[in-house]
């Protein structure tokens, strides 16, 4: 009798309190089970105002009350829907206030990636409602970027890949790393901060944001709504390059261009240097042809005013030509003046000044004619100002 009396709850006299029993039951349950994955169908899901989720997991004729505390459910991509088949990781415990067994969930996965899809769809719908997915928002990328900002981690493969492509295609383009964490809990904030830096810096022509491939959870920061919104408001045209070939990320939807990998982003962003050189050469030719045409048409006019302008033009062209010659053979080959200079001669007085006017030229005046490849001394035979005779030019002149 004495022994029974000493066991709590063995007799009416040693009855235990409800609190003591439920607390003991909790300790026993918590000690008996490691955190474990449980399979079941979600029902009675409720998201409470305070951020906690309450639901049941059902299977056959059993059910398990579940809770996902707001501070512990960061890794659950989206709230599950009733009827969803899920597996949930949690700890089994007792909730003394209700006297119920409770499963405290920290992670959850649905069949067929249901939760990930749902999270994506929810974010996508919010962005769509704000017009951020409108195709008309897509900007054209600069054709000739000089400086490309790359938002990624300093040590990742993405930066190396982009650098290698830039080096191969056009080493003139500068790559500026804007370092950011690309995975882990701090990644969304870090990516947003980097985007903000690029915007405030304002000195990049283009921005590539991304990382190399990884597990879905590693890429999840690029599905973060805050990152997507920061990307959408970036004043510089954007390319997303999240290393996954199959799934689209939210950033892919918002960026001006989606590239499947960082290397592909660089291919799209960086022009080929040899093609640029060729284009530059063609532009130089076009420019010089247009200028020559313009000068020629102006020259045919007899109006004094136009003659003055043409002579002025020739002077300016000559001045520019001399500058350009001094800037080296490469530049000279590109210069439109290399073709322009064929037709021009400059008339100089004996004191070296360029002769711009018939004034001061008389029969017998000695002048110097400067041509592309040499200089000739000459004497004026006849000097006739415009208007007195249109039949003869004033002097051996500026046309070939």
Partner 1 sequence: MERIEAIASRLEDEELDLDTALALFEEGVAELRAASAFLTQAETRLKQLNEDADGLFRIDDLRD
Q: Residue numbers of the site for partner 1 (CB under 8 A)?
A: 142-144, 146, 149, 154, 160, 163, 166-167, 171-179, 197-198, 200-201, 203, 273, 276-277, 279-280, 283-284, 286-287, 290-291, 294, 298, 306, 309, 313, 316, 320, 324, 327, 330-331, 334-337
Task: Output 17 or 286, the one with its CB closest to partner 1.
Answer: 286
Rg of the chain (C-alpha set):
40
- 106 vs 354, beta carbon nearer partner 1: 354
Q: Is 313 left (phi over 0), alpha (psi -120 to 50) or beta?
A: alpha
**Cβ proximity of 131 and 115 under 8 Å:** no
The shares of helix, strand and coil residues in the chain, as percent rounded to the nearest 5, are 40, 25, 35
Q: Contact 11/19 with Cβ under 8 angstroms?
A: no
Cα 287 from Cα 289, distance rounded (Å): 5
**What is the distance between the alpha carbons of residues 381 and 165, in angstroms, rounded to a whole number?**
66
Q: How many CA atoms lie within 13 A of 74 on its CB side?
A: 9
The tally of CA atoms less than 13 A away on the side-chain side of residue 97 is 0
On whether the CB atoms of residues 92 and 30 are closer than 8 A, the answer is yes
Report the nearest approach of partner 1 to the CB of residue 229 (Å): 21
3-state secondary structure of 166: helix
Q: Whole-number minimum distance, CB 276 to partner 1, in Å?
A: 6
What's the closest the beta carbon of residue 247 comes to partner 1, in angstroms?
A: 29
User: Min. distance of Cβ 230 from partner 1 in angstroms?
Assistant: 16
Smaller CB separation from partner 1, 142 or 343: 142
Distance CA 333, CA 217 (A): 55
Q: In this complex, which beta carbon is closest to partner 1, that of residue 147 or of residue 216?
A: 147
190-193, Cβ contacts within 8 angstroms, sequence gap of 24 or more:
191/151, 191/221, 191/222, 191/224, 191/227, 191/230, 192/226, 192/227, 192/230
First to last CA, the chain: 136
Residue 89: how many other CB atoms lie within 10 Å: 17
Distance CA 144, CA 132 (A): 26
For residue 210, the minimal CB distance to partner 1 (Å) is 16
CB of 211 to partner 1, least distance (A): 17
Residue pair 128/232 in contact (Cβ under 8 Å)? The answer is: no
Q: How far is the CB of 145 from partner 1 (least distance, A)?
A: 10
State in angstroms the smallest separation of the CB of 231 from partner 1. Answer: 17
Q: Between 252 and 256, whose beta carbon lies closer to partner 1?
A: 256
Are the CB atoms for 218 and 224 separated by under 8 Å?
no
CB atoms within 10 A of CB 227: 27
**Quick one: 284 or 367, whose CB is closer to partner 1?**
284
What is the closest distance, in whole angstroms, from the C-beta atom of residue 159 to partner 1 in the complex?
8
Choice between 75 and 154, CB closer to partner 1:
154
Looking at the Cβ atoms of 49 and 200, the one nearer to partner 1 is 200
Q: What's the closest the beta carbon of residue 222 comes to partner 1, in angstroms?
A: 20
Comparing CB distances to partner 1, the nearer of 42 and 166 is 166
Q: How far apart are CA 39 and CA 109, in angstroms?
A: 10
Q: Which is nearer to partner 1, 225 or 325 (CB)?
A: 325
């Amino acid at each position: 009798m004495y022994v029974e009396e000493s066991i709590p709850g063995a007799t009416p006299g040693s009855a235990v309190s409800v609190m003591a029993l439920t607390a003991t039951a909790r300790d026993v349950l918590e000690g008996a089970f490691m955190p474990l994955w449980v399979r079941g169908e979600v029902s009675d899901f409720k998201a409470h105002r305070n951020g906690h989720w309450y639901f049941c997991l059902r299977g056959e004729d059993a059910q398990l009350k579940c809770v996902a505390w707001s501070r512990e459910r960061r890794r659950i991509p989206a709230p599950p829907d009733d009827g969803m088949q899920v597996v949930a990781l949690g700890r089994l415990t007792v909730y003394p206030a209700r006297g119920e067994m409770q499963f405290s969930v920290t992670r959850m996965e649905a069949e067929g990636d249901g939760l990930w899809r749902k999270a994506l769809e929810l974010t996508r719908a919010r962005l769509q409602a704000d017009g951020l997915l409108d195709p008309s928002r897509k900007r054209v990328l600069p054709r000739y970027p000089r400086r490309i900002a790359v938002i990624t981690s300093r040590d990742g493969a993405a930066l190396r890949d982009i650098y290698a492509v830039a080096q191969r295609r056009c080493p003139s383009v500068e790559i500026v790393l804007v370092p950011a964490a690309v995975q882990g809990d701090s990644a969304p904030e870090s990516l947003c901060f980097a985007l903000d830096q690029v915007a405030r810096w304002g000195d990049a022509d283009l921005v590539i944001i991304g990382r190399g491939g990884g597990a879905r959870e590693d890429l999840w920061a690029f599905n973060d709504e805050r990152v997507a919104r920061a990307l959408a408001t970036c004043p510089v045209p954007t390319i997303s390059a999240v290393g996954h070939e199959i799934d689209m990320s939210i950033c892919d939807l918002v960026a001006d261009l989606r590239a499947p990998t960082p290397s592909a982003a660089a291919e799209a962003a960086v022009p080929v240097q040899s093609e640029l050189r060729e284009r530059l050469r063609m532009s130089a030719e076009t420019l010089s042809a247009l200028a020559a045409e313009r000068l020629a048409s102006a020259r045919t006019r007899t109006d004094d005013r136009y003659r003055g302008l043409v002579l002025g033009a020739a002077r300016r062209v000559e001045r520019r030509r001399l500058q350009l010659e001094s800037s080296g053979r490469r530049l000279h080959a590109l210069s439109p003046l290399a073709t322009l200079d064929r037709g021009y001669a400059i008339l100089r007085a004996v004191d070296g000044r360029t002769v711009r006017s018939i004034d001061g030229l008389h029969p017998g005046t000695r002048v110097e004619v400067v041509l592309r490849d040499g200089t000739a001394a000459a004497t004026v035979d006849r000097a006739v100002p415009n208007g007195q005779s249109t039949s003869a030019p004033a002097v051996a002149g500026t046309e070939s």
